[in-house]
Amino acid sequence: MLIRGGRVIDPSQGIDRHTDVWIANGRIAFLGDGREMLQQQPSGPPPRILDVPGCVVAPGFLDVHTHLREPGFEYQETIASGLAAAAAGGFTGVAAMANTQPVNDHPAVTELMLRRAAAVGGTRLYPIGAVSAGLAGKELSEIGSMHEAGIVALSDDGLPVMNARLMRRAMEYGRMFNLPVLSHCEDQGLAAGGVMHEGVVSTALGLPGVPEAAENVMVYRDIQLAAMTGAHVHIQHVSTAEAVKLIRRAKAQDIRVTAEACPHHFTLTHEAIQQYDTNTKINPPLRTAEDVEAIKAGLQDGTIDIIASDHAPHHVTEKEQDYESAPSGIIGLETSVGLSLELYHQGVLSLAQLIAKFTIHPARLLGTARGTLAVGSPADVTIIAPDQTFVVDVASLHSQSRNTPFLGWQLRGTAVATIVDGNLIFERL
């Protein structure tokens, strides 16, 4: 395959130039002038040519925070529908969280997820193993055998590991296998009953709030545990200005901490909840304009390494309950790239900075050699059109669920082609 006429940006190699990408045998064969490559092509069937003028050709995008809901909640999403949504959103790989039913706390579940994903083909699935058995926060899950089965990180995401001693042991034990711990930072005592950011809007709406401190105290705890154990802790879905500060300071102290932010947390504030739209109910909650600015600043200066979707499908009947009863979470795989490109349009991030947060940084977290266009690497490629309008509507979504506050939005920029191992798995060129 020849990808011709695009602007190739690969932060892993510091490349940003107009050139062509030649793919052979599922790997990146050559970056350079496509005409030369075509002339050198031995006889045989002509290669597939993708002409992508005006587009950006990047390593395959990775989403480190996805809920695929299978096994157990197939009415919300299946591995097949979730991976289809991922491909349509420009992702060549997604990390699937462990809060399935049964929980991914055992190699049998890990193997099932990988087998299903392989049968579906397309976007790759990176399983995340639970920290604790049954996400109960009491004892460690089968970490070693899950590692053998293919997990790439540990997380009880959705629930915090409240017991600091268990968290310490998970970090120590996971470190033997180079498994980072992805932490959902929320003090359950402080957050109890809360359904939105605690502040003037929650007071006006009469909804119970989650104070920022619920996140901050846990971010600080996990940074301290990472410093103590030498383990790699990754702070998920940063939502507060103070958390950004704590992470910035920890990085300056060379503590092994990385962090992700979700598009909704740098796009919307708690003001979006005014009409009690349950598609604005997310955990951690939408916070203030100051928090949004702090997250953007954290993305800009590198404090926040990764942009992740926290794709969390819920059935429409679950979201049509009252605000307090409705489950938290929104789908994000198909809006993540478009919403994030707004940071480029606003001048917050260069395209190279933005792409690094979807490619080489997530690849390092997940311990995969992908996330690069280095010659010889598996040919995972995401092609984006930064100025092409993408309207979020029900008909355009591939996810089985529809729970997004961005329905009807016109996003500036979208992924237009997704290539995994040299196979074009999605395109809207």
Q: Check: CB of residue 232 under 8 Å from CB of residue 259.
A: no
CB nearer to another protein: give 194 or 329: 194
Task: Give the nearer residue to another protein in terms of CB position, either 114 or 191.
Answer: 191
Bridge partners of residue 66, in order along the sequence: 96, 311
Spatial contact of 332 and 282, defined as CB atoms under 8 Å apart: no
Residue 228 is a binding residue for another protein (CB under 8 A) = no
What is the length of the chain? 429
Among 208, 302, 327, 367, binds another protein (CB under 8 A): 208
**Smallest gap from residue 171 Cβ to another protein (A):** 31
Are β-strands 61-66 and 56-59 bridged in parallel, bridged antiparallel, or unpaired? unpaired
**Residue 289, interface with another protein (CB under 8 A)?**
no
Query: Segment 254-283, which members bind another protein (CB under 8 A)?
Result: 275-276
Dist. CA 251–CA 263, nearest whole Å: 22
Q: Between 284 and 338, whose beta carbon lies closer to another protein?
A: 284
Least Å distance, CB 195 to another protein, is 9
| Of 151-159, 169-177, 204-212, 379-387: span binding another protein (CB under 8 A) | 204-212
* Closer to another protein by Cβ: residue 93 or 313: 313
d(CA 229, CA 195): 33
Is residue 350 within 8 A of residue 14, CB to CB? The reply is no
Q: Which one of 104-112, 122-130, 202-210, 406-414 is the stretch in contact with another protein (CB under 8 A)? A: 202-210
Of the residues 42, 46, 193, 347, which one makes contact with another protein according to CB under 8 A: 193
Name the one range near another protein by CB under 8 A: 145-153, 179-187, 206-214, 223-231. Answer: 206-214
301: its two tokens = 């200066």
Number of chain residues interacting with another protein (CB under 8 A)? 23
Return d(Cα 13, Cα 21) in angstroms, integer.
Answer: 14
> CB–CB of 418/382 below 8 Å?
yes
Q: Could you say whether residue 71 binds another protein (CB under 8 A)?
A: no
**DSSP character at residue 301:** T
Closer of 207 and 226 to another protein (Cβ): 207
- Is there binding between residue 177 and another protein (CB under 8 A)? no
Sign of CA dihedral 295, 296, 302, 306: positive
Which residues, numbered 304-323, are part of the site for another protein (CB under 8 A)? 317, 320-323
Gyration radius of the chain's alpha carbons: 21
| Identity of residue 272 | A
How far is CA 172 from its chain centroid? 25
* 46 contributes a contact to another protein by CB under 8 A: no
Catalytically annotated residue among 310, 322, 387, 421: 310
| CA-wise closest residue to 229 among 160, 260, 183, 298 | 183
Rounded Cα–Cα distance for residues 132 and 135 (Å):
5
Nearer to another protein, 121 or 208 (CB): 208
Asked whether position 362 contacts another protein by CB under 8 A, the answer is no
325 near another protein (CB under 8 A): yes
Smallest gap from residue 189 Cβ to another protein (A): 10
Q: Which tokens go with 246?
A: 């704590």
| Minimum CB–partner distance for residue 193 and another protein (Å) | 4
| 111, 172, 324, 427: residue in contact with another protein (rule CB under 8 A) | 324
Q: Which of 198, 215, 260, 380 binds another protein (CB under 8 A)?
A: 198
Annotation marks residue 254 as catalytic: no
Phi, psi of 172 (to 5 degrees): -65, -45
Amino acid at residue number 259: A
Would you say 314 or 370 has its CB closer to another protein? 314
Q: DSSP per residue over 338-376, as a string?
A: HHHHHHHHTTSS-HHHHHHTTTHHHHHHHT-S-S---TT
- Asked whether position 75 contacts another protein by CB under 8 A, the answer is no
Positions touching another protein (CB under 8 A) are 192-193, 198-200, 202-209, 211, 275-276, 317, 320-325
* Active site residue ranges: 310
